[in-house]
Amino acid sequence: MSIRDRADLVQPGESTEPDEAAGWTAAVRRRLVRELPPDTMLPDTQPKYVASWIYVFGVLTLAAFLVVLGSGAVLAIQGPSWWHTSDIGHFFNSLHLWSVELFMAFMVIHLWGKFFMAAWRGRRALTWITGAVAFLGSIGTAFTGYLTQQNLDSQWIAVQSKDALNAVGIGAYFSPMNFGQMLMWHIVLLPAFVGILVVLHVLMVRRRGVVPPLPLRDRPAEAEPGTASEAGREAEAAETEEQP
Amino acid sequence: MSAVTQGALAAAVDLNGPGHYLNWGVIQISAANLVIIGVMIVVFVLALLLPFPKGRGRR
């Protein structure tokens, strides 16, 4: 059925013409709609195999990340030494610390789950890579966070780590004892790097769908209809057919 | 929080001193980090084993 044949189904105000507009904005619009269709980006259902607690840790990581960004933004308003002199500052610093603890813990459990699920299957390699690089970026962000605490801990870590960074030849460009540089890396460059990767990661998860569980190839008798192993086999078979 | 509760918590986890470290050859790890890694492994195993509540909107 073509778009013109569907004229009776079109809502008032909706165009029945195909999008053939010229210009780069129209080209970008067509590309985005083709690559990131709205019903795929914001689905209202999920496959039955997603009904497992192990699939929850990705969104838990995202939730913790939002608290990290929010509490970090409040700390940025008043400056890095505010938490030493104010109870409210101390509260937000603790909120920042514990949300980071949860962020890292949830992210590592998410990584364990996806690793043992071989989550790079089904043309999801780039999803896996963006997640892994975001994890490495998060370690760098945590490191620069330690360096901006404005206490003996941060001084100790800066002095010790400078030797390691000098030993690998990057101390001239990334100096832990340069407080201003570390603060800018912590609150501008690395959050932007991790944030962009997280957005790309989520978009790729939406585009390819949540990875199905591994099928139980050696034990076909256990793959009862409606179980996760049966769902995994069906999903993997469907994905294999889709691939060129 | 009452003084009694605060005292009980402080007795259970005293964070006002040097950390406790475990050594095994070249491997050295703080007790706090070892506990966190242990808790993460427990949470991972529970996530695999515990049943997920039935919900709507799954195909």
Smallest Cα–Cα separation from A199: which of A136, A131, A105, A129?
A131
Give the pLDDT band (50/70/90) at residue B9: low
Q: How far apart are CA A206 and CA A196, in angstroms?
A: 15
Closest Cα in chain A, distance from residue B57 (Å): 5
Name chain B contacts of A56, Cβ cutoff 8 Å: 47
Mean pLDDT of chain A: 87
Decide if B19 is inside a domain. Answer: yes
Q: Does B58 touch chain A (CB under 8 A)?
A: yes
Q: Which residues pair with B24 in a beta bridge?
A: B27
Pick the residue from chain B with its C-alpha nearest to A51. Answer: B52
CA–CA gap between residue B49 and residue B43 (Å, rounded): 10
By Cβ distance, the residue of A48, A52, A109 closest to B40 is A109
> Contact A47/B58, CB-based, under 8 Å?
yes
Q: Which amino acid is at A139?
A: I
Query: pLDDT value at position A3?
Result: 46
Total domains present in chain B: 1
Quote the radius of gyration of chain B (alpha carbons, Å).
Answer: 19
The DSSP letter of residue A46 is B
In chain A, residues with a C-beta closer than 8 Å to the C-beta of B48 are 52-54
Q: What pLDDT is recorded for position A10? A: 58
pLDDT at res. A43: 87
Q: What is the pLDDT of residues A55-98, one digit of tens each?
A: 999 999 999 999 999 999 999 999 999 999 999 999 999 999 99
In a domain, B36, yes or no: yes
DSSP, res A54: G
Q: DSSP assignment, residue B52?
A: P
Residue B8's contacts (CB-CB under 8 Å, 6 or more residues apart) are none
In one-letter notation, the amino acid at residue A30 is: R
Asked if the Cβ–Cβ distance from A45 to B58 is below 8 Å, we say yes
Number of C-beta neighbours around residue A228 at 10 A: 20
* Averaged pLDDT, B12-29: 85
Give the pLDDT score at A48.
86
Residue A17 Cα distances to A7, A25, A26, A27, angstroms:
10, 17, 14, 16
Supply the pLDDT for residue B18.
82
B52 to chain A: nearest residue by CA?
A52
* The two three-digit tokens of residue A100, written as one number: 């980071």
Structure tokens at A50: 């997603």
Q: B46 — contact with chain A (CB < 8 Å)? A: yes
Contact B59/A57, CB-based, under 8 Å? no
Q: Give the structural domain span for B33.
A: 15-49
Residue B10 lies in a domain: no
Annotate A56-94 with b (16+ C-beta within 10 A) or e (fewer).
bbbebbbebbebbeebbebbeeeebebbeeeeebeebbe
Tell me how far apart the alpha carbons of residues A26 and A17 are, in angstroms, rounded to a whole number. 14
Compute the nearest-CA separation of A129 from chain B (Å): 22
Of B54, B55, B57, which has the smallest distance from its Cβ to A44's Cβ? B57
Q: What's the gap in Å between the CA of B41 and the closest CA on chain A?
A: 8
List the pLDDT tens digit at each of the 244 positions of chain A. 444 454 556 566 566 566 778 899 999 999 999 988 888 888 888 888 889 999 999 999 999 999 999 999 999 999 999 999 999 999 999 999 999 999 999 999 999 999 999 999 999 999 999 999 999 999 999 999 999 999 999 999 999 999 999 999 999 999 999 999 999 999 999 999 999 999 999 999 999 989 998 887 765 554 455 555 555 555 666 555 444 4
Interface membership of B34 toward A (CB under 8 Å):
no
In a domain, B57, yes or no: no
Query: ipTM of the assembly?
Result: 0.76
Domains and CATH numbers, chain A: 50-212+227-242 (1.20.810.10)
pLDDT of amino acid A215 = 85
Residue B22 belongs to a domain: yes
Residue B3 lies in a domain: no
Distance between CA atoms of A175 and A152, rounded to whole angstroms?
17
